[in-house]
Each structure stands twice: as structure tokens, then as C-alpha cells.
Structure 1
Amino acid sequence: MYNYYFAIASKDFFLYQEPIEEILRERTQYYQSLNKEVDFWFTLEPNFIPLLDNKNKPYYFNIPNSLAAIVSLDKDFIQWLKLRIGFVYIGSFQSKSIFLLD
């Protein structure tokens, strides 16, 4: 099983209210400087929502086509994102595949 960690918010928040492109570009450059493989992804309309525990899902998870997420294998990176951009929900899930729900 693979452990995935995520920061999730509305598409509008990630695409228009936060400099997420800049943050991810800087993180990519940092990984390259360490010769580390990129282990995070930005996704619109994440398909892992059904894997999450229903009791911990915020109400807006039920609004179709409204979410975006940054998913990573690195828990510390996601916790850093929470501190950096604040208004995101963080959590984790497991999948048998490195390709999430394949």
C-alpha cells in the first residue's frame, strides 16, 4: 500500500487566490537541486475523495467539480503547504497503486 498525503481546496482558491504555480515551481526546483524525484502532483477534480473517511470530510467535498488537490508521498511537504497557504484541508489515504486509483 502507498500512503498519500494531500492538501485540498476549491479550484478557485488554488488557481486564482494563491500563488500555487509559483510554490510548486519553487518546490520542483528545490527537488532538482537535491537530485530528488518529484513526488507530488496537482490535480483538478481529484478522484480519491471516495477513499476518505466520511466522518472527516468537509461539507464542500460533496460539491461536484469544485475541488483541486496537491497530492504527495511526502507528509512533511503537505504539512508545510498547510502552514504556507493556510486555508486548505489536509489528510491522507492509502492506495495499492502508485497511480492512485488504477
Structure 2
Amino acid sequence: MPQYYFAIASKQFLVDTEPVEEILRERSNYYQSTNKDIDFWFTTNPKFIHLPQFQYIKKKLKNTPAAIISLDEQFIEWIKLRINFVTTGKFQSDYFE
């Protein structure tokens, strides 16, 4: 079962306040130039937030959540340093939504 790492915040914060689109576009271009498969996703209202271990995150986020999810822990750590006001974590699943 794969381990997924995530950075999560409100959709409004990630889409309107932070340059997430630009960050992910740059990362996609880097992956393409190095022939690396894309191993990250941006999703709104992710279902994993409803898991019991993430209830504390769900309570913190008053608005619709959005998350950057990746198989690369270092990428998520970098996102945390780059954006600051996100919560990070991890979960295992055969798939994510």
C-alpha cells in the first residue's frame, strides 16, 4: 500500500493567496525536463480528511479544504517551507481522493 504525503489548507488560501498554480507548474516542468513521472496531485475537498486521524485538521479548516498530495515526502516538506501556513501529514491507501 503506497504512502502518500500531503500539505493541506483552505482552498481559498492555496488558490487565491499562494501561487500554488505557479509552484506546481514549475515542478511539472522540472519533472518533464528530467524525465520523471509526475508523483503529485492537487485536489480540492479530499476525502482522506474524513478519516478519524485527521479530524483535528477538519476542525481547523473552516472553509473547503485543498491539498497537494505526493509520493515524495521531501517535496511536501519543501512545500511546507515554501508556503508555511499548511498542515502536513501522511496516510497509506491503495488510492486517494
Same-fold status (TM-score > 0.5): yes
User: What's the offset of the Cα at 1:12?
Assistant: 0.4
1:53, CA displacement in angstroms? 1.3
User: Which residue number in structure 2 is paired with residue 69 of structure 1?
Assistant: 67
The alignment yields a C-alpha RMSD, in angstroms, of 1.6
Q: Residues 86-101 of structure 1: matches in 2 within 5 Å?
A: 86-95=84-93, 97=94, 99-100=95-96
What's the TM-score once normalised by structure 2's chain length?
Answer: 0.90
Cα distance in 2 between the residues matched to 1:73 and 1:52: 21
> Residues 90 and 60 of structure 1: is their aligned pair in 2 closer, same or farther, counting only changes over 3 Å?
same
Structure 1 unpaired stretches of 5+: none
CA displacement, residues 15-40 of structure 1 (integer Å, 9 cap, x when unaligned):
10000000000000011111000000
The whole-number CA distance in structure 1 between the counterparts of 2:85 and 2:36 is 28
Q: Secondary structure at the match of 1:36?
A: coil
CA distance in 1, matches of 2:31, 2:79: 15
- TM (norm. structure 1) is 0.86
Residue identity matched to 1:67: P
Cα distance in 2 for partners of 1:33, 1:76 equals 19
User: In structure 1, how many angstroms separate the alpha carbons of the residues matched to 2:45 and 2:17?
Assistant: 17
Percentage identity across paired residues of the two chains: 56
Q: Which runs of structure 2 are paired with 1:11-90 in the superposition (5 Å)?
A: 11-51=11-51, 53-54=53-54, 57-58=56-57, 59-61=59-61, 63=62, 66-90=64-88
Counterpart amino acid of residue 29 in structure 1: N
Say whether the 8 Å CA contact 1:39–1:73 is kept in structure 2.
yes
* Unpaired segments ≥5 residues, structure 2: none
Structure with the higher helix share, 1 or 2: 2
